[in-house]
Amino acid sequence: MAYTTIDKPSDYFNTLTYTGNGGTNNITGVGFTPNFVWFKSRGDADDHNLYDTIRGATKFVETNTSLGEQTQSNGLTAFGSDGYTLGDFNVGNRNNGNIVTWNWKAGTSFTNDASSTGIGTIDSAGSVNTDAGFSIISYTGTGTAGTFAHGLNAVPKMMILKRLDGSGWSWIVYQHTMGNNYRAVLNNTGAKEAQDYFQNTSPTSTVFSIKTNGNVNGSSGNYIAYLFAEKQGYSKFGSYSGNGSTDGTFVYTGQKSAFIMIKRTNSTSNWRIFDNKRLGYNSSNSQLYPNLSNTEDTGTNLDIYSNGFKLLSTSGDINNGSGTYIYMAFAENPFVTSTGVPATGR
């Protein structure tokens, strides 16, 4: 059996950097039609703005706030075959601003009428890519514990949910290594917390369970969920323990990663994102913070290897000696391609 089924990860995930022009801006170079786009200004304290094709152009949510969905007519105005069109909104297109976007491909329409199919109890719809293990699902809350279909045909290992109507609703994160009775929150620094948001039930290859909390299943609430299943050589959702040393923990992922997001789970800490396109070399991989509007930080943080990553900092956010951490990572290259070609280091 081949090591990976995805020899070219950039067909499904890609990081893009560009300079804003403060006007109409046609951004290309993604390499596919993006279904989920995450924008952050590198040099300005702008919010993180997230768009997807299920909610539609001009509609965004912010990972660093608890606000609901907002509409910006001059934000991302259209999705294209190789990128997107932007208006003059500062977030994503500030004149002379340095911008990074993280882009994922779903692409296949998905609809499940639970009462008709007998799969789950809550209707769901969205876009799915079973090859890459990614789906974007929208649903309406019932206020009653239930399940919804996610379309992956594989068990999701990580899920990020956001209520869209109203404000004050947290970004809820499920990650399988924390256990099904815990959740993390993307828009704050809190440690993982025991909460019965998921009915103490792990997801299956067809459905995900949610309880009645308003963050995930309030009556008549509108929700978006981003779900990820692992694909060897392309994506990994795991955990590690820090060692508190600049000769830090090595984390095996089975891939040379293009994107890494880390969160300490046993104490308060910031979320951190690293990628292969900003400074793009070891060991000064720049970081951004999903829970903060802060500008990009540089410094010695981690090395990205052909088969994993190694922490080079004693920061409590990524490598405290008593810290436990979760991460999500997407590949630049698999460790070994389907034809046996090994990845090289950076």
Domain C-terminal end among 74, 104, 134: 104
The predicted structure's pLDDT at residue 342: 74
The predicted structure's pLDDT at residue 195: 92
Cα 284 to Cα 105, 242, 278, 280, 313, distances in angstroms: 28, 19, 10, 8, 11
Same domain, 14 and 93: yes
- 87/122 same-domain check: no
Q: Are residues 211 and 305 in the same domain?
A: no
E-assigned strands of 130-201?
134-140, 146-149, 156-163, 172-175, 182-185, 193-194
Q: Virtual CA dihedral for 212, 215, 220, 226, nearest 10 degrees?
A: -110
Same-domain check for residues 180 and 218: yes
Starting at the earlier edge strand, list the strands of the sheet with 272-275: 235-241, 324-334, 255-264, 272-275
Whether residue 167 is contained in a domain is answered as: yes
**pLDDT tens-digit series, residues 144-163:** 999 999 999 999 999 999 99
Last residue of a domain, one of 203, 229, 255: 229
Structural domains counted in the chain: 3
Q: What is the CB-side half-sphere exposure of residue 13 using CA atoms within 13 A? A: 29
223 and 240 share one domain: no
Take residue 213 and report the two structure tokens written for it. 């909390």
Q: Are residues 210 and 277 both part of a single domain?
A: no
Quote the pTM value. 0.97
Domain identity same for 246 and 328 = yes
The Cα–Cα gap between 38 and 70 comes to 15
Intervals of the chain under pLDDT 50:
none
Kindly report, residue by residue over 20-77, the tens digit of the pLDDT.
999 999 999 999 999 999 999 999 999 999 999 999 999 999 999 999 999 999 999 9
**Residue the block writes with tokens 């990580």:** 158
Residues 199, 131 within the same domain? yes
Omega before residue 338 within 30° of 0, cis: no
Range of the domain at 287: 235-334
344 in a structural domain: no
Give the SS3 label for residue 10.
helix
**Is residue 67 included in any domain, yes or no?**
yes
First and final CA of the chain: distance in angstroms?
A: 27
The residue from 192, 212, 229 where one domain ends is 229
